[in-house]
Amino acid sequence: MRKRYTNLDGVTNNKSFKDMLKWNKERRSKVKDLSVNIPHCPNKQVNAIRANRSQTSYTWIGHSTFLIQMNGLNILTDPVWAKRMGFQKRLTEPGISLTDLPEIDVVVISHGHYDHLDFPTLKKLKGNPQFFVPAGLKSLFERRGYKKIIEMNWWDCVEYKEIAIHFVPAQHWTRRTMTDMNTSHWGGFIFQSLSETMYFVGDTGYFSGFSEIGRRFNIDTVFMPIGAYEPEWFMKESHINPEDSVKAFLELGAKLFVPMHYGTYWLADDTGTEALERLYREWEKQQLPMKQLMVLLLGETVIS
C-alpha cells in the first residue's frame, strides 16, 4: 500500500465535486481583467548571470521559478516554462528564455503539481543538475531516466558543495493522476551558505510551521507565494493570501520579502495585479519598511 502524506495540525484539502461546481459557478459570475500583466524587466542581465560564478543573485523567471546563484552554483526552483497550464494559456512570457540560462547545477522541486513540476522543461535544461525532490517523487523521476535524485523528508538537510539544503514543511497537497493523491510530499527549501540564507517557500497555505521555521533559521531572503487564493473558502488550506503572507514573513523574522506565485497562470480567481495591490495595502497597514519588500519584474536580477 502506497504511503499517503499529510499536513501539520491535521489540515486537509478534501474538496468535493459539489465544491468544484460551486466554485465554477462563482467564477462564471466574476469579471476579471487579465489584460494587465506583470511587466518584463527592460534591462535584463542575461550575460552577467551566465558568466556569474562568484556573486549571490536571484532572478525571477515567473510563477515559482527563480534562478538563484549562490556559492558558484546555479539553482533553479520549480522550473516551469510551459506555455499552458491545463486549459489556461500562460499570461506572461518567462522572464528569461531556456536558451539564455546558464548550465544548471541544482534543481529543487517543491511538490508534484504540474505548475511546479514540468518534465518537458526539465528535459531542456542545460547541464546535468542534481535534483532535490520531496519524499515519494524519486521513482517518478527514475522512470523518466533521471539518475541524480535526492529525496527529502521534512527537516532533512543535505550538504551540497558548501551549501546546506534543507527541506522544510508547507501546508499543501499534491496529485498528478487519478490514483496518486498525496503519495509524494510537499514543502519548501532553505539554501544556507556561510554568508546568506534564502527560503523558497514553495506552495502553501498559512500554517503554524512558519513560526517553527523562523525559530530554526536566520533567514535573509524569503521567496513567498501571494497568489491563487480566491475564492478563499476553497483555496485557503493550500494557497496563502497576501495578508497572511505578510503575517508569515513577520513570524519568520526574515529580512527581505520577494513575492512569487502570481500573475503567470490564472489558476484561481484572483489576478496578479489584485494580489500585488493587497500585498502593498497590508505592507503599509503593518508599517513595514519598503526596503524590505522586493517586488520583481519578470527577468529582473537582484545581486545580494
pLDDT for 248: 98
Confidence band for 86, pLDDT divided at 50, 70 and 90: confident
pLDDT for 177: 93
Confidence band for 83, pLDDT divided at 50, 70 and 90: very high
Residue 293's CATH number: 3.60.15.10
pLDDT for 54: 92
Let me know if residue 7 belongs to a domain: no
pLDDT for 25: 84
pLDDT for 64: 98
pLDDT for 163: 97
Let me know if residue 27 belongs to a domain: no
Distance CA 187, CA 174 (A): 11
Nearest C-alpha neighbor of 60 from the set 238, 242, 241, 294: 294
Let me know if residue 14 belongs to a domain: no
pLDDT for 194 beyond 80: yes
Q: What predicted TM-score, i.e. pTM, was given to this entire model?
A: 0.97
Coil/strand/helix, residue 84: strand
Residue 283: phi, psi to the nearest 5?
A: -60, -45
pLDDT for 185: 98
9-43 pLDDT per residue, tens:
889 888 888 888 888 888 888 888 888 899 999 99
pLDDT for 68: 98
Distance CA 144, CA 119 (A): 9
Let me know if residue 182 belongs to a domain: yes
Let me know if residue 245 belongs to a domain: yes
Distance CA 203, CA 212 (A): 17
Let me know if residue 187 belongs to a domain: yes
Let me know if residue 25 belongs to a domain: no
Let me know if residue 1 belongs to a domain: no
Task: Return the percentage of the chain with pLDDT > 70, whole number.
Answer: 100
- Its domain, for residue 80, covers 40-303
pLDDT for 67: 98
pLDDT for 280: 98
Give the mean model confidence (pLDDT) for residues 120-138.
97
pLDDT for 98 beyond 90: yes
The packing angle between helices 209-216 and 242-252, to 10°, is 30
pLDDT for 105: 98
Mean pLDDT score across all residues of the chain:
95
∠ CA 166-171-174 to the nearest 5 degrees?
95
| Domains contained in the chain, number | 1
